[in-house]
Amino acid sequence: MKICFQTYLEQSGLIETVLELNRRGLKTKAFVSRKGRIQEPHSWVANALHKVLSNPLYHGAIRHKSSEYPGEHEAIIDDDLWNAVQTKLREHQPEFRKTSGHLNEIATAKTRLIHPLKGFIFGIDGQALTPTYTNKSQKAANGTKTRKRYRYYVSQQAIRQGYGSSPLKTLSASLIEDAVRRMLIHALPALSEYIPSGELSSSEIRHRLGMHATYLAQLDTPVEFAKWLKATSPRIVVGSDTLAIHILKENLPKLALSTPDESAETQTLPPSIPTIMTEEGDRIILSANISFKPRRGRSQIIDRKTGKAITARSTAPNPALIQTIAQAEFWRSELLLQPEKSLEKITAEYGVKPRYIRRLLNAAYLAPAIKRAIFQGIHPAHLQVQDLIAEHSLDWQSQLQELGFDDSTAVA
């Protein structure tokens, strides 16, 4: 056991310690339970290791409820090693904060994250995907800092024994949830053929499912999506290049007889994801040949057949993007009005650093079609300020492709 404690301090975390212990061929302890069941030694996993590292028995103490008391047995782990391990375990907890000074520190800590696919999503190996998150610090131009949370789903197998043991890496929660939602939106009306007419006619059933599709299209929070999924209880299976949604036939009539919580008005549906619908026994399976790959610094939904990103368009103007374009045009006009002055002299008059303005000016030379789409709110949903101020080709068509606009966007 002392090797486990020492190895944990030498490694960067639980997963790395598990991999090192298994590499050395070390196994868990064999024992006989109170019921007489024999527990054979097996390879280490993160959960089992954490139980060992946090068990006060190895420190010569016993735990009763939430309190610890000195035991009569001899300690295996000395005070220095025990305290060092407990400190490291605390520092690796999500609630631990090494830095402070963030404006939304308390609000972020108290915010309850909702993962609507929790309990419904699994890897192709049958292992459940567990919700998790990470905090990232963001610094504004005025020096203030805020925290932003990013949600993910990660395989249980990866948590226990590292990413090398699982075919799936960490998946962006918002991306996988968007893919599932878009597949459902465009498949729901077609599911009416699997619902026998009774209280409702075939046309009424199709209309009701169409209402649910429109309702899903206008959802903007994970909370509402989570409530809707509970009614259908799908099983979502994710592979390295596939996404499948299994829906039990017995749940479809209940969905048709219900109406969305809010009146769904007709609106433009998000771009569809190529989906194949099949019937297997007591369930309907919606499957798509897609993957989630990093492009331009973030993950995107990729059509495996075409190799292109399946981009969703925003349905509302983004104030941050509009402000970036406006500021870029302002600084370009300042340079044109004062050609005799350098950028350093002009920015000094405003008390702004020239380094940032040089990056900002990249947005001034974007294609007119890109600027028009941003002001109209029909740009790709993934577009961020960093994308606008990054260096791009001066060719307008290349800019459209780099920023993820589809082929229907006019260049001029």
Q: Regarding beta strands 235-238 and 121-123, do their DSSP bridges make them parallel or antiparallel, or are they unpaired?
A: parallel
Please determine, for residue 102, whether its predicted confidence score (pLDDT) is greater than 50. Answer: no
pLDDT, mean of residues 121-139: 83
pLDDT digits (tens, 9 = 90+) for 303-324: 888 877 776 665 578 888 999 9
If one counts the domains in the chain, the total is 3
Give the β-pairing of 276-280 and 283-288.
antiparallel
- Supply 131's token pair: 């919700």
How many CB atoms sit inside 10 A of residue 332's CB?
A: 16
Note the Cα 262 to chain centre separation in Å: 27
Q: Does pLDDT of 352 surpass 60?
A: yes
From 44, 64, 91, give the residue that closes a domain: 91
pLDDT surpassing 80 at residue 225: yes
pLDDT tens-digit series, residues 139-165: 665 566 777 778 889 888 777 777 777
Rounded-to-integer distance, Cα 359 and Cα 125, Å:
45
**pLDDT 10s digits, 372-390:** 989 988 888 778 888 899 8
Q: 267 and 184 in one domain?
A: yes
Same domain? 197 vs 331: no
In a domain, 134, yes or no: yes
Evaluate whether residue 410 is within a structural domain: no
CA count, 13 A, side-chain hemisphere, 34: 0
Q: Do 253 and 109 share a structural domain?
A: yes
Q: Is 372 helix (H, G, I), strand (E, B) or coil?
A: helix
Range scoring the smallest mean pLDDT among 37-41, 54-58, 281-285, 307-311: 307-311
Domain of residue 395, residue span: 319-402
Given 264, 292, 310, the domain boundary residue is: 310
Length, in residues, of the chain = 412
Structure tokens at 268: 């433009």
Q: Give which of 66, 68, 137 is closest to 97, Cα–Cα.
A: 137
Identify the residue with better confidence: 66 or 251.
251
Same-domain status, 67 and 130: no
In this predicted model, what pLDDT tens digit does every residue of 189-211 receive, in sequence order?
Answer: 999 999 888 888 889 999 989 88
pTM of the full structure:
0.63
Residue 253 shares a structural domain with residue 382: no
Q: What is the DSSP string of 154-179?
A: EEHHHHHH-GGGSS---EEHHHHHHH
Q: What is the pLDDT of residue 244?
A: 96
Whether residues 283 and 213 share a domain: the answer is yes
The predicted pLDDT at position 156 comes to 81
Structure tokens at 201: 């006619």
Buried-state track 14-41, b at ≥16 Cβ within 10 A, e below 16? bbebbbbbbeeeeebeeeeeeeeeeeee
Same domain, residue pair 234 and 160: yes
The CATH number assigned to the domain holding 66 equals 3.90.1750.20
CA distance 372 to 369: 5
Residues 374 and 321 sit within 8 Å (Cβ to Cβ) = yes
Partnered with residue 237 across adjacent β-strands are 122, 244
Taking Cα atoms as reference points, which of 120, 114, 108 lies closest to residue 151?
114
Residue 96 has pLDDT above 60, yes or no: no
Instruction: Kindly give the interhelix angle for 368-376 and 319-337, rounded to the nearest 10 degrees.
Output: 140
Instruction: Please give the pLDDT value at position 277.
Output: 94
Token pair for 124: 């192709």
Q: Give yes or no: residues 213 and 241 share one domain.
A: yes
Residues 6+ apart with CB under 8 A from 81: 2, 5, 6, 9
119-122 contacts at long range (C-beta below 8 A, 24 or more positions apart): 120/229, 120/233, 120/234, 120/235, 120/236, 121/153, 121/176, 121/236, 121/237, 121/238, 122/235, 122/236, 122/237, 122/238
Residue appearing with tokens 């196994």: 27
Q: Are 276 and 317 in contact (CB under 8 A)?
A: no
Dist. CA 87–CA 89, nearest whole Å: 5
Of 310, 330, 350, the position where a domain reaches its end is 310
Q: Up-side HSE of residue 197: CA atoms within 13 Å toward CB?
A: 9
Q: pLDDT averaged over the chain? A: 83
In a domain, 407, yes or no: no
